[in-house]
Amino acid sequence: MVRPAETIRGEIDRLNRATLDLAAEFNQLYHSYLDCLGVATRHQLVMAVYHLCTQVYPEGFLALSVSQQEKLQRQIRQLGQKAQDELSHLLDPPRAESDLPTPDEAASAEADRPTWEDDQPPIALSAEVVNCSESSALAEDSNASESAEPVAPSPPATAAILPDPRAEQGEGEAEAEEVSGDSQETSLPLTSLIKSMVMAALAEDNQTPWIEGPLFTGDGLTPTQLAKHHLFLERQIRRLLRRLSKQANQLLQAAQVLPNLPEAVLDAASESEVGPSRGRSVPNVLNVLVALSGELAEDPDTELNPPSNADSDTAEDATEDEEDEPSEGMMTHLAAVNLCLSDIEFTDVQTSLGRSKLRTTLGRLRKLGKQYQKAQRELAIAEAEQAWRAVWYDDSSS
């Protein structure tokens, strides 16, 4: 027996009020979370750059003069501070998306490059990602799966980016685990956490990439719209971290600490990591193996050792398939900044605690959304029955 329509409308009004209360709670939690995340991001950026300059590429950092070292450190601090400020303002009314501004010094970075004893031109590489799976901006966005396209070859060499064995696990699944794995507290898998409510929000978001007005506010806010605000903000956080990583790597390349690889190589490599990021030896640092082939492998002036005569004779006798496969002698290890939300949360207690509170609130949103959908469905049935009875005319007596 369907309840009266007025009773159902009263329940929907109650659910709408509960949604507004939940939106206010999301707003408060995200304000606190983003403040903690901004501080942690600034700190983790410095730690990642420190690791690259002292543990991975110490020779490149030592080749800089003292003033250049201070300049690089100042640029990294400014970049981290700018990212912290942007994170703290993500809840403000969104405007046209813009990258984090590159520091002013980047414009004159070419003139500030140190003089190397062996002034070799940058190695031109082309990249092909092996077993690449794109890390989505948010794990919930199931439409964001696509493979990286190979970069057009450029002589004198070709390179294939292979996942570093030391980095067995990456960010893609970590984001899924971050949003869904810890929802084990409420025993809710990701696919059922927001269910059709999330899918409706994603469908709308594909048409309207920007939400007008402040997040988690507004009259008539439904659970579906609230879920859309949550997904939008999560994507913005990850986009900001990717931009920050990219600009930090550009600063390191401008100082010639990081190898001057094509930008597409680093972009493809950052998307090629699979598995949870907990398996990385160093958080927020991307580790890949670049396999070189072609003329570069035979050039004695490159950083890699040329193959010996014995190796050349063996290669001539090898099959064509074997010749195409990169050998151990033609591989070089590369590392770069790759800030991951899961890494930052794992290494910062306050940020991790804030994420835990958000997950708990997200579980409550799921329950509220199910109740709201059920009430809407019940109201539609009740109104349809009323409309049927209002126009029904029984002519059996005539």
**Per the structure, how many domains does the chain have?**
1
Query: With a threshold of 0.85, does the pTM exceed it?
Result: no
Distance CA 337, CA 247 (A): 9
The verdict on residue 118 lying in a domain is: no
Q: What is the pLDDT, as a whole number, of residue 182? A: 43
CA distance 20 to 226: 9
**CA–CA distance, 171 with 198 (Å, rounded to integer):** 22
**Has residue 364 got a pLDDT over 60?**
yes
The packing angle between helices 195-207 and 349-391, to 10°, is: 90
Q: In which domain, by residue range, is 264 found?
A: 5-110+124-391
* Among 233-237, 266-270, 281-285, the least confident range: 266-270
pLDDT of residue 30: 96
In DSSP terms, which residues pair with 8 in a beta bridge? none
Res. 58: pLDDT tops 50: yes
- 103 is a domain residue: yes
Total residues belonging to the chain? 398
The residue with tokens 């903690």 is 36
398 is a domain residue = no
Q: In the predicted model, is pLDDT for residue 3 greater than 90?
A: no
Residue 116 lies in a domain: no
Which helix (H) or strand (E) is 215 found in, with range? none
In a domain, 273, yes or no: yes
pLDDT in tens, 172-220: 444 444 444 444 444 444 444 444 454 555 454 444 445 666 788 777 7
Instruction: Work out the number of other CB atoms within 10 angstroms of the CB of residue 389.
Output: 8
Q: What are the tens digits of pLDDT across the range 95-129? A: 444 444 444 444 443 444 433 333 333 333 334 43
Average pLDDT on 30-45 reads 96
Residue 180's pLDDT is 42
Determine, yes or no, domain membership for 117. Answer: no
Domain assignment present for 397: no
Looking at the DSSP assignment, which residues form a beta bridge with residue 294? 157
Query: Are the CB atoms for 293 and 158 separated by under 8 Å?
Result: yes
Q: What is the pLDDT of residues 222-265, one digit of tens each?
A: 899 899 999 999 999 999 999 999 999 999 999 999 887 777 77
Tens digit of pLDDT for each residue in 131-175? Answer: 333 333 333 343 333 333 333 333 333 344 344 444 444 444 444
What phi and psi, each to the nearest 5 degrees, are found at residue 211? Answer: -95, 125
Compute the CA torsion angle 19, 180, 193, 95 (nearest 10 deg). 50
Q: Which amino acid is at 238?
A: R
| DSSP line for 138-172 | STT-GGG--PPPPPPPBTTEEEEEEE-TT----HH
Has residue 119 been placed in a domain? no
Q: pLDDT tens for residues 325-334?
A: 545 456 777 8
Q: What is the CA radius of gyration of the chain?
A: 27
